[in-house]
Chains A and B, each alone.
Chain A
Amino acid sequence: MSDHVAQGSPNAKGSQHVLEVAGLSAWYGEAKVLSDVDLRVEPGEVVTLVGRNGAGKTTLLRSVMGLHRHVEGTVSWGGSDLGRSSPDKRARAGLGWVPDDRGIYATLTVAENLTLPPVTSKADAWSLEQVYEQFPVLHERRDFPGTKLSGGEQQMLAIARVLRMGSRLLLLDEPSEGLAPVIVQRIGEIIRQIKAQGVSVLLVEQNVTFASTVADRHYLLAQGRVVESLDNDSFQSRTTELLEYLGM
Chain B
Amino acid sequence: MTAFIQYTLQGLALGGFYALAALGLAVIFGVLGVVNFSHGACYMLGAVGAAVLLDATGLGFWAALPIVTVAMFVFGVLMERLLVRWLLRLDPLYNFLLTFGITLFLVDLVKRRYGVSSLAYELPAGLKGRVDIGSVSLSSYQIFVAAFSVVLCLAVWVLLTRTRIGMIVRAATEDAERSRALGINVGRWVTPVFGFGIALAGLAGVLRAPTGSVNADMGSFFIIILFAVVVIGGLGSILGAVVAGFLVGLVEAYGQGYAGSFSQVLIFVLMAVVILVRPSGLFGREEAAS
Contacts and interface: CB of A to CB of B under 8 A. Distances in A.
Interface of A: 65-67, 86-88, 90-92, 97, 99, 103, 105-108, 112, 115-118, 120, 161-162, 165
A108 B181 contact: no
A87 B167 contact: no
Given A87-B177, A105-B175, A165 B170 contact: no
Interface stretch (B60-68, B183-191, B257-265): B183-191
Nearest to B236: A107
A116 B174 CA distance: 13
Interface of B: 167-168, 170-171, 173-175, 177-187, 238, 285
Contacts of A103: 175, 178, 181-182
Contacts of A117: 182-184
Nearest to B167: A112
Given A106-B285, A108-B167, A116 B182 contact: yes
B57 to A, nearest CB: 42
11 contacts: A86-B180, A87-B177, A87-B181, A91-B180, A97-B182, A103-B178, A107-B174, A112-B167, A116-B167, A117-B182, A118-B184
From DSSP, what is the main secondary structure of chain B's interface residues?
A: helix
B171 A116 contact: yes
A165 B16 CA distance: 40
Contacts of B178: 97, 99, 103
A25 B175 CA distance: 26
B170 A99 contact: no
Contacts of A90: 181
B181 A165 contact: no
A87 B170 contact: no
Nearest to B283: A107
A71 B175 CA distance: 23
Contacts, number: 68
Contacts of A112: 167
B226 to A, nearest CB: 22
Nearest to B173: A107
Contacts of A107: 170-171, 173-174, 238
A108 B173 CA distance: 11
B181 A65 contact: yes
Q: Which 9 A-B pairs have the closest CB atoms?
A: A91-B183, A97-B181, A117-B182, A87-B180, A87-B181, A88-B180, A92-B183, A117-B183, A103-B178
B290 to A, nearest CB: 14
A46 to B, nearest CB: 21
A121 to B, nearest CB: 11
A67 B183 CA distance: 12
Nearest to A113: B171
A99 B181 contact: yes
A21 to B, nearest CB: 17
A120 B181 contact: no
A91 B170 contact: no
Nearest to A162: B182
A88 B184 contact: yes
Contacts of B185: 88
A91 B180 CA distance: 8
A88 B186 contact: yes
Contact of A108 (B170, B180, B186, B285): B170
Contacts of B181: 65-67, 87-88, 90-91, 97, 99, 103
Contacts of A120: 183
A108 B171 contact: yes
B163 to A, nearest CB: 11
Contacts of B182: 88, 91, 97, 103, 116-117, 161-162, 165
